[in-house]
Amino acid sequence: MSKNINLEFLVPLVDYVRSSRRNDLTWDFLPPVIIAIVLFTIIREELSNEKLSTIISCFIQCEAVIFAFSIACATIFATSSNKNIENIKNIRSECCSSISLYRQLLAIFTYSLIASVVCIIYSLFLYLYLLSNNINPQQKTVWGFIYTNPSIFITMNILLLLHVLFVSVRGITNLYNILWKHG
């Protein structure tokens, strides 16, 4: 354990990046970006605050379900103890020889949890921002360079949500393939 316990959450993030192939990272980010851009072109029209509040509350509910699913996956994986799990604790990852397959999978699940928390926090701040401001879609925000066209914020929310979903699916798929191959 390091001296600064507050930064311990960075260890699984570093492990996630180090133990992922470029192709895996590309598929974790590229499809969500493309889908978000396509959806941005569709929804860039003006949306009322009521519609935005409804959309964001739906996002928060979806994110909470994904978060709960990620916690369940991480908990089941971390507390499992059978011969397949014991085997993958001793097998090194193909991407990073200093990390076992077990640690690689745990890093993916932990990254998914952390990304889910970031996504939920973003949605909550966005929801509170929309509640506290009567948004005129053409005025500038406090941040200056970002217009308050809400579709930008919604698109970012979609991007984060899809990214978490893609990472979660990759984690489950990797778990299945690793246990099937090494079990």
pLDDT of residue 36 exceeding 80, the answer is: yes
* 100: containing domain: 5-182
Q: What is the pLDDT of residue 79?
A: 86
* pTM of the predicted protein model: 0.81
- pLDDT-wise least confident of 39-53, 59-73, 90-104: 39-53
Q: Using 50, 70 and 90 to split pLDDT, how confident is the model at 133?
A: low
Q: What percent of the chain has pLDDT over 70?
A: 82
Q: What is the pLDDT of residue 1?
A: 47
Q: What six digits make up the tokens of 143?
A: 């941040």
Domain total in the chain? 1
Residue position matching structure tokens 């914020």: 153
For the chain, what is the mean pLDDT?
A: 81
**CB-based burial of residue 173 (10 Å sphere; 0-12 exposed, 13-18 middle, 19+ buried)?**
exposed
Q: Using 50, 70 and 90 to split pLDDT, how confident is the model at 182?
A: low
Residues in the chain: 183
